[in-house]
Chain A
Amino acid sequence: MKKFVWFVLTLALVLSACGAPAVEAPAAEAPVATEAPAEAPAATEAPMAEPFRVAVVMPSGITDKAFGQSMYDALTRIKDQMGEENFEFVYSENMFVVDDAAAAIRDYATQGFDLIIAHGSQYGSSLQEIAPDFPETSFAWGTTVDTFGQPNIFAYEALSQEGGYVNGVLAATLTKSKVIGVVGPIETGDAKLYIDGFKAGVIATNPDAQVNVNYIGSFSDIPLASEAATTHIAAGADVLSGSAQMVVGAIGKAEEAGALWFGTQSNQASLAPTIVVASQVYHWEVMLAEMIGLIQGGTLGGQSFSADLANGGQVIEFNDGYALPAEAQALADETIKGIVDGTITITLP
């Protein structure tokens, strides 16, 4: 039947456009069993003959200027540190369907990757099922602290309230209207931590300032995020912030209105070079380097890691294009120092 053939063809075309995990190093698949496959546990010996292979599965894209990109950038930095010949990674992005992600995780495990990262808290239950089937493979997932008590699962999270607090302190210092607007996705996870920390920072610095928070109920609705920013500006906000990948719409509105912007997850300065003051950036490579060290030493999991300002897993990156007054910069540095040495404690609601 002609109709059916066309349906199948259409479907095939679509699948070919959506599927196929992108491969970073095209020449990856060349195990070339030189010696007896060293099945690494307790292989503490000298340089590994084979590169360390990592696969990552993530819900959004590697170029989202937010959560997904933070992991991609971290892996790229690890690659630079360890060298091309010692480290390679592949990724599957836009895996917003958890079932698909689970299938990808299992595929990677079957292919014998050293570390498989499930970069999204929604992948937890899938990982809990998959990990026991591959006791020789190490898995990591975030953001969470839960390793399910599995010896081959690492957990990682970001204490985003710390960077949020620093951004909040700065926002409270820079606002003239004393109204600050925040655009959030869904009231959960690191977005909620960031926003709660941000509010705490504002209130600690300037109790008169008002923080309006708007959760738009989506990680992807850019038009609504943009309209939320416009609403904040109409309500008098002159400083804005927001978490998750849909804020790219909000940043544009802030720029149009000449309001300042504080970013999180990735460095967002390039989106609006004149108004982005600072971004809290996740440097997962700090955690990843520790995990890789442990895996090479034979420990495949069971530990959880937190990215924070103290260990460098979170860094406040200031935008050179924005002339931050010296006293504000000093206050920011002092705040970061205070959080690191514990003199500032952040109370979350």
Chain B
Amino acid sequence: MISDLFTVTVFVGILASGIRLSTPYLFAAIGEAFGQKSGVLNLGVEGQMLLGAFAAFYVALTTGNLWLGLLTAMLVGALMGLAMAYVTVNLQAEQGISGIGFYLFGLGMSDLLFQKLMGTVETVKGFPKIHIPGLSDIPYIGEIFFSQNILVYFAYLLVPIAWFVLNKTTLGLKIRAVGENPDAADSLGVSVARVRYFTIILGGTLSGIAGASLSIALLNVFQQNMTSGLGFIAVALVYFGAWRPIGILGGALLFSFINSLQLWMQVLSIPVPSDIAVMMPYVVTILVLVATVSKVRAPSALSKPFERGD
């Protein structure tokens, strides 16, 4: 019944699982935000995540070393980013289309490698929940915030770091300049290509971590197409968050909280058809987006290839 929702157990449950669910979105969406800030739309996030998830899982499974798995996922994501950067910066390909190409490549390649190297669904022992003496024992708060795996903390640390880099450093200024007015940036001696290479590779690396956060921290399995659209939601969250790390955090949390709320609603037998319940996160996110139309506009040079005119 509805009143069952308003209990401490449910409240704590919703918050804790919302924070867990938002982790992969944060990595992927913040990585994507760097790319978009510099004027590159990368729709291949999902593919980078899938390959990252597989790489992390496979290395963790065969070596038993989770950190090595994470590192491999970062490397694989970075390589995917490098390829994407070459295609979009040097070859000046249409970004949306090539992004979809990279997505499909990641989808197919991760599946192929899974078939050839593993062949069956297996499990690993992933990053454990960290118990912080003192903090984890605080009633409720401890359960919500301080009993998560290490990648969850990394994801939340990433938000202020990304904000700082984008807004308070020269590098951030260069990234924004390249995304707003590449011609001006170029004339002032900023290498548009180099900045974009950096942001796309960084985005790929973070997407790789996002995949790893699923396969060796949150779920500890790998299955074909296991991200099931998560990477595309991450791209949407960048728009939702108006290219600001804090906005992305808000969007990721909103989406995840509503998602865990609908899980609880079904568990508590609140009479809402399951089809309606599973739509909720999407519907609410769209409604909030419409209600809070942001004045912030997209980076002017977003998805426009830069050609040096002389």
Contacts and interface: CB of A to CB of B under 8 A. Distances in A.
Contact of A214 (B10, B109, B219, B263): B263
Interface in A231-289: 231-232, 234-235, 245-246, 248-249, 251-252, 255, 270-272
Contacts, number: 160
Interface of A: 2-3, 6-7, 10-11, 13-14, 17-18, 22, 60-61, 63-65, 94, 181, 184, 186-187, 212-218, 220-224, 226-228, 230-232, 234-235, 245-246, 248-249, 251-252, 255, 270-272
Contacts of A94: 111, 224-225
A198 to B, nearest CB: 15
Dominant secondary structure of chain B at its interface with chain A: helix
Most buried by A among B10, B214, B223, B225: B223
A255 B128 CA distance: 13
Contacts of B107: 18
A63 B112 CA distance: 12
A235 B267 contact: yes
10 contacts: A7-B93, A61-B111, A61-B115, A94-B225, A223-B214, A223-B228, A226-B219, A227-B21, A231-B17, A231-B267
Interface in B232-259: 259
Chain A interface, DSSP helix/strand/loop, else mixed: helix
A177 to B, nearest CB: 13
Interface stretch (B119-127, B156-164, B198-206): B119-127
Given A22-B115, A61-B115, 16 more contacts: A6-B87, A6-B93, A10-B105, A63-B118, A94-B111, A215-B274, A217-B274, A221-B228, A223-B218, A223-B227, A227-B17, A231-B267, A235-B13, A249-B221, A252-B220, A255-B123
B196 interface: no
A212 B274 contact: no
A3 B94 contact: yes
4 nearest A-B residue pairs (beta carbon): A217-B278, A17-B108, A215-B274, A10-B101
Nearest to B110: A17
Given A6-B91, A10-B105, A218-B228, A231 B220 contact: no
A227 to B, nearest CB: 5
A224 B121 contact: no
Nearest to B129: A256
Interface string B7-27: 001101100110011001000
A30 B96 CA distance: 44
B141 interface: no
Interface in B94-152: 94, 97-98, 101-102, 104-105, 107-109, 111-112, 114-115, 118-123
Contacts of A255: 123
A299 to B, nearest CB: 36
Interface in B1-45: 9-10, 12-13, 16-17, 20-21, 24
Given A212-B268, A215-B266, A252-B123, A7 B97 contact: yes
B266 A18 contact: no
A7 B12 CA distance: 48
Interface of B: 9-10, 12-13, 16-17, 20-21, 24, 87, 91-94, 97-98, 101-102, 104-105, 107-109, 111-112, 114-115, 118-123, 214, 218-221, 223-230, 259-260, 263-264, 266-269, 274-275, 277-279
Nearest to A3: B93
Contact of A220 (B121, B123, B228, B267): B228
A17 B103 CA distance: 12
A7 B92 CA distance: 11
Nearest to A213: B266
B112 A17 contact: yes
A163 B115 CA distance: 30
Given A63-B115, A63-B120, A235-B9, A10 B87 contact: yes
A232 B123 contact: no
B119 to A, nearest CB: 6
Given A17-B108, A272-B123, A222 B223 contact: yes
